[in-house]
Each structure stands twice: as structure tokens, then as C-alpha cells.
Amino acid sequence: MRIVGYIEGYSSKLGFTSGIIYSGNQLTREEYPVTARIYPDGRFESSYLATNPEMSYLSFNDEIYKYYIEPGQTLVLIFKASTDKNWNCYSMVGHLHWTTNS
């Protein structure tokens, strides 16, 4: 599974340069964290192996963003800063996706 994306308005001055994707084994309930490196221009990417579809989540700067992904798929996430300086995921594109403009 591959997760890629962009954080609009990102700067390393914000105090974080990576995120964590929590992948896991649904039978044993073990979690396998995977690092999502954030590049200076706000792009990020990560990939991991999985054999089953999963609901999982990505964490940036202590904020959690949930997603659904299936094996072999790529999911694209686009974040934008809100007025309260938190990040909102305003676009999620993949095989099964939703999009919101907020």
C-alpha cells in the first residue's frame, strides 16, 4: 500500500518533519508504525505491505487522520492549514475515495 500527499503551507519551522502511519495485523492487533517523511516543499510519501483492506490512520503533529485502503492501492491525501493553525484533510483520492472542500 502506498500513501502520498501534500501539506499546503508546510514549513519545517512548524516543528515536525514526518508523520506516522499506523498499519497493523487485524488478527493479532499488533501495530506496525511506518514513518511518512515530509519533504521541504510539503510532499510526503510512505509505503507498507498489507494483505487485507484496512481502516487505519496517519498522525501529523499529534493530529490523527483516518483512511481506508486496500492492498496494491495508492491513496493521495492533501492537507491545508485551517484558521486555528491545525491541518484539515480536504482531499482524499484513491480507488475508493471521498473529497470534501472545507
pLDDT tens digits, 30-71? 878 899 999 999 999 999 888 888 888 888 888 888 888 888
What's the pLDDT at 87? 66
Rounded CA-CA distance 8/16 in Å is 14
pLDDT tens digits, 19-37? 999 887 777 878 788 999 9
Q: What percent of the chain has pLDDT over 70?
A: 78
User: What predicted TM-score, i.e. pTM, was given to this entire model?
Assistant: 0.75
Rounded CA-CA distance 98/76 in Å is 11
Q: Which residue has the higher pLDDT, 79 or 24?
A: 79
Enumerate residues 6+ apart whose C-beta is below 8 A from 89.
Answer: 65, 77, 78, 79
